[in-house]
Chains A and B, each alone.
Chain A
Amino acid sequence: DAKTTQPNSMESNEEEPVHLPCNHSTISGTDYIHWYRQLPSQGPEYVIHGLTSNVNNRMASLAIAEDRKSSTLILHRATLRDAAVYYCILRDAWGGGTSYGKLTFGQGTILTVHP
């Protein structure tokens, strides 16, 4: 599985934007970039995913570099409820190879949001 590299931790102030970086220099052409977050004592929650183009949804935006070797999850206005561990994961395209679209979690980035 292609690997990702994320900072161990980041801090932000409430109502400010947060940019969470992720490096994935060995990404393959069929890998989707997925982001999940995990609040304490809960299961991970899907945030957003993309392949080549930038993506927006109600939770966040995903900016993907032109060479796809890095991406950035953008929380436009951080709230205290956004404090969580954020995981950037590469996932094989559905139906490709033998990996059956498995998600392999790394250590993620611990986001702390200050009031």
Chain B
Amino acid sequence: SQTIHQWPATLVQPVGSPLSLECTVEGTSNPNLYWYRQAAGRGLQLLFYSVGIGQISSEVPQNLSASRPQDRQFILSSKKLLLSDSGFYLCAWTGGAEGYTFGSGTRLTVV
């Protein structure tokens, strides 16, 4: 069966520090991968998606970047965090017309 792993679960980082969040999928190949962010009390915003290794599409210009170094690995990064980067970050995958499967999320607080 397919599983998605996302870590860490919580993170507190100072302004200006770097960020690296990792997401991995098991049990499938060539998944479509997605990074979403949910600010406190708000809806989910699609940040990046990837349809293959090295293929990244950005939905919203921002202080973040994404990379897909391996088929089932998706990484969200920042060189210098801003206060506005705080939020609940979710990774998701899908293999076709079926529904998305979301990870358990990382709650990031930038202080």
A residues whose Cβ falls under 8 Å from a Cβ of B: 32, 34, 36, 41-47, 49, 93-94, 100-108
Given contacts A36-B100, A94-B97, 4 further A-B contacts (CB under 8 A): A43-B102, A43-B104, A49-B99, A104-B46
Give Cα A47 to B100, complex, Å.
Answer: 10
Q: What is the predominant secondary structure among interface residues of chain B facing chain A?
A: strand
Cβ A102 vs Cβ B49 within 8 A: yes
Interface residues on B, range: 20 to 34
Give Cα A46 to B94, complex, Å.
Answer: 11
B residues whose Cβ falls under 8 Å from a Cβ of A: 32, 34, 36, 43-46, 49, 51, 57, 88, 90, 92, 94, 96-105, 107
In the complex, number of A-B residue pairs with CB atoms less than 8 Å apart: 54
Distance in angstroms from B66 CB to nearest chain A CB is 14
Cβ contacts A to B, 25 pairs, < 8 Å: A36-B100, A41-B88, A41-B107, A42-B105, A43-B90, A43-B103, A43-B104, A43-B105, A44-B44, A44-B90, A44-B100, A44-B102, A46-B99, A46-B101, A49-B98, A93-B97, A94-B96, A101-B97, A102-B46, A102-B49, A103-B100, A104-B46, A105-B44, A105-B46, A106-B43
Cβ A108 vs Cβ B102 within 8 A: no
Give Cα A44 to B100, complex, Å.
Answer: 9
Q: What is the predominant secondary structure among interface residues of chain A facing chain B?
A: loop
Name the one of A43, A45, A105 contacting B43, with C-beta atoms under 8 angstroms. A105
Give Cα A106 to B42, complex, Å.
Answer: 9
Distance in angstroms from B19 CB to nearest chain A CB is 19
CB neighbours of B49 from chain A (8 A): 100, 102
